[in-house]
Amino acid sequence: MILLAPNLYRLSPGLQPLWFLEDGKLAEMGAGNAVHDASLGKEIVRRINELGAISEDPEKLTRIYLSKELRTAAELILGWMREAGMSAHLDAVGNVCGRYEGERPGAACLMLGSHYDTVRDAGKWDGPLGVITAISCVADLNRRGKRLPFAVEVIGFADEEGVRFASTLLGSRAVAGTFDESVLNTRDRDGVSMRDALVTFGLDPDHIGAAARARRELLAYLELHIEQGPVLEAASLPVGVVTAIAGATRLAARLTGMAGHAGTVPMALRRDALTGAAECIGAIEQFCRTDESGLVGTVGYIQARPGATNVIPGEVSFTIDMRAPTDMHRKRAVADIVRQIEAIAKRRQLSLQLDVTHENRTAPCAPWLKEQIAQAIAAEGFAAFELPSGAGHDGMAMIDIADVGMIFVRCRGGISHHPDEHVELADADAGARVLLRVVENFRPREDR
């Protein structure tokens, strides 16, 4: 059993809190102390389900950037923001933005946010939990008529997942002023350019710059998100303090060989692009498996052309996603993988095109924000457990204009990017109470 004094809530990762001392008595950690009616959690779960029903496919949740469903979702969220006492608008790149003025109109803001796009066949919680929880916190302040010495803004980023145009974080990059205009010319799988998709959505591609915010407008950026991993569940804790968001590199590979007749070309004379890709994929898995430092590599998309049972595949495209606990480690691993793929292509007489489509360095969470989050978690009666994020988040872009803090909420089995993604109502409620406490007790960095 691990005993902790109430003022020593900060635990190292791996330390499992079981009990702590309260008024000289043992109290259970993780159960929370305050008596509450979970009203925030109930509202959040109801809205998660409502938003989760907006999908291009009635059978599974898919809501990608600049789709008609994203627009429907935006209208719903903007309505919730207004109901919560915020002024709200859709910005130049499709983000939903709400503002709850402080005691003094026009003050710098504490920005709370996450994303409202999804992967294909997604869960309902990845992204929306952070947006909906932030709105519920503002609604709670508004119900009590409480204004703070700063404004609170809530933002729902329109593209975090990068499903449609290969590049991720398009919404938050536009806000951070780091949006790469060349992405406007990239095309989705149906050949639609981002430029045209913006117009169809009702936005002007030449005005994306208007979404950018200045550093002086933001006191900090805070995001609440599901953990998407099993660590909090193993520690029996509903919430955690994020230490850093791991960097990632994404590549697009294309192998070109020679298409041909499946019945007539002898095996030794083939230049099969798909068997070449299979060897590359196996090599990536093998390389990451034998690395003991937490390196992970994924090939999540592959397309073979011409794509017929009786034709040798002449061209294959696939993606590679690589992540590691440190940037140096990731860069070295990517270089090694690239060398291996080049060697496989050469040996099989395939031509190779390999492009880096996305590169994000590790984003550390600001110590002063981690401290304030830890205090709020402790005040709710839980151990302030620190853990890193293996998944990417909008904070990776927002760090260019603001200090970043993140709160993780436990999700069942650590399952994410899957329809079985689930958060218990009590945990959604605990996350909301922590976020509300952080907001109400927020102290800007001393040099502001």
Beta pairing partners, 387: 242
Q: Which stretch binds Mn ion (CB under 5 A): 118-126, 192-200, 358-366, 382-390?
A: 118-126
- Residues in the interface with Mn ion (CB under 5 A) total 2
When asked if residue 386 is in the footprint of ligand HGY (CB under 6 A), the reply is no
In the complex, minimum distance from the CB of residue 225 to ligand HGY, in angstroms, rounded to a whole number: 9
In the complex, minimum distance from the CB of residue 114 to Mn ion, in angstroms, rounded to a whole number: 7
Distance separating alpha carbons of residues 443 and 149, to the nearest angstrom = 10
* Rg from Cα positions in the chain: 23
Please, which residue, 159 or 429, has the CB nearer to Mn ion? Answer: 159
Among 98, 156, 392, 431, binds ligand HGY (CB under 6 A): 392
φ/ψ of 357, rounded to 5, equals -100, -15
Contact partner at residue 141 from ligand HGY, Mn ion, none, CB < 5 to 8 Å by partner kind: none
Please, which residue, 305 or 418, has the CB nearer to ligand HGY? Answer: 418
- Residues in the interface with ligand HGY (CB under 6 A) total 4
Contact partner at residue 43 from Mn ion, ligand HGY, none, CB < 5 to 8 Å by partner kind: none
Packing angle, helices 425-440 and 367-379, rounded to 10: 120
Judged by DSSP in three states, 152 sits in strand
Among 126, 153, 421, 427, binds Mn ion (CB under 5 A): 126
In the complex, minimum distance from the CB of residue 270 to ligand HGY, in angstroms, rounded to a whole number: 35
Please, which residue, 161 or 188, has the CB nearer to ligand HGY? Answer: 161
In the complex, minimum distance from the CB of residue 389 to ligand HGY, in angstroms, rounded to a whole number: 8
Q: Residue 428: enclosing H or E segment and its boundaries?
A: helix 425-440
Question: What's the CA dihedral at 329, 332, 333, 335 to 10 degrees?
Answer: 160
Judged by DSSP in three states, 386 sits in strand
Contact partner at residue 69 from Mn ion, ligand HGY, none, CB < 5 to 8 Å by partner kind: none
Q: Give ∠ CA 166-323-244 in degrees, rounded to 5.
A: 105
Contact partner at residue 394 from Mn ion, ligand HGY, none, CB < 5 to 8 Å by partner kind: none
Letters for 155-194 (x = contact with ligand HGY by CB under 6 A, - = none) are: -----xx---------------------------------
In the complex, minimum distance from the CB of residue 249 to Mn ion, in angstroms, rounded to a whole number: 17
- Restricting to residues 106-165, which ones interact with ligand HGY according to CB under 6 A? 160-161
Distance separating alpha carbons of residues 184 and 31, to the nearest angstrom = 48
Among 127, 313, 381, 388, binds Mn ion (CB under 5 A): 127
In the complex, minimum distance from the CB of residue 248 to Mn ion, in angstroms, rounded to a whole number: 12
In the complex, minimum distance from the CB of residue 204 to ligand HGY, in angstroms, rounded to a whole number: 26
In the complex, minimum distance from the CB of residue 113 to ligand HGY, in angstroms, rounded to a whole number: 14
Phi-psi region of 349 (alpha: psi -120 to 50; beta: other; left: phi over 0): left
When asked if residue 130 is in the footprint of Mn ion (CB under 5 A), the reply is no
Among 194, 391, 396, 435, binds ligand HGY (CB under 6 A): 391
Q: Which stretch binds Mn ion (CB under 5 A): 126-134, 188-196, 269-277, 428-436?
A: 126-134
| Helix (H), strand (E) counts: the chain | 11, 20
Distance separating alpha carbons of residues 358 and 271, to the nearest angstrom = 29
Contact partner at residue 392 from ligand HGY, Mn ion, none, CB < 5 to 8 Å by partner kind: ligand HGY
Closest of 109, 12, 48, 5 to residue 421, by C-alpha: 48
In the complex, minimum distance from the CB of residue 360 to ligand HGY, in angstroms, rounded to a whole number: 9
Please, which residue, 140 or 160, has the CB nearer to ligand HGY? Answer: 160
Please, which residue, 98 or 395, has the CB nearer to ligand HGY? Answer: 395
Please, which residue, 164 or 348, has the CB nearer to ligand HGY? Answer: 164
Task: Quickly tell me which residue has 């498996």 as its tokens.
Answer: 289
Distance separating alpha carbons of residues 31 and 236, to the nearest angstrom = 9
| Residue pair 72/94 in contact by the 8 Å Cβ criterion | no
Please, which residue, 133 or 375, has the CB nearer to ligand HGY? Answer: 133
Contact partner at residue 380 from Mn ion, ligand HGY, none, CB < 5 to 8 Å by partner kind: none
Burial of 408 (C-beta count, 10 Å sphere; 0-12/13-18/19+): buried
For residue 273, what are the contacts with CB-CB under 8 A and spacing of at least 6?
255, 256, 257, 304, 313, 314, 315, 316, 350
Contact partner at residue 127 from Mn ion, ligand HGY, none, CB < 5 to 8 Å by partner kind: Mn ion
When asked if residue 17 is in the footprint of Mn ion (CB under 5 A), the reply is no
Closest of 376, 362, 286 to residue 324, by C-alpha: 362
Distance separating alpha carbons of residues 444 and 392, to the nearest angstrom = 25
Question: What's the CA dihedral at 176, 182, 183, 187 to 10 degrees?
Answer: 170
Sheet strand arrangement including 25-28: 3-4, 19-22, 25-28
**Binding residues vs ligand HGY (CB under 6 A):** 160-161, 391-392
**Binding residues vs Mn ion (CB under 5 A):** 126-127
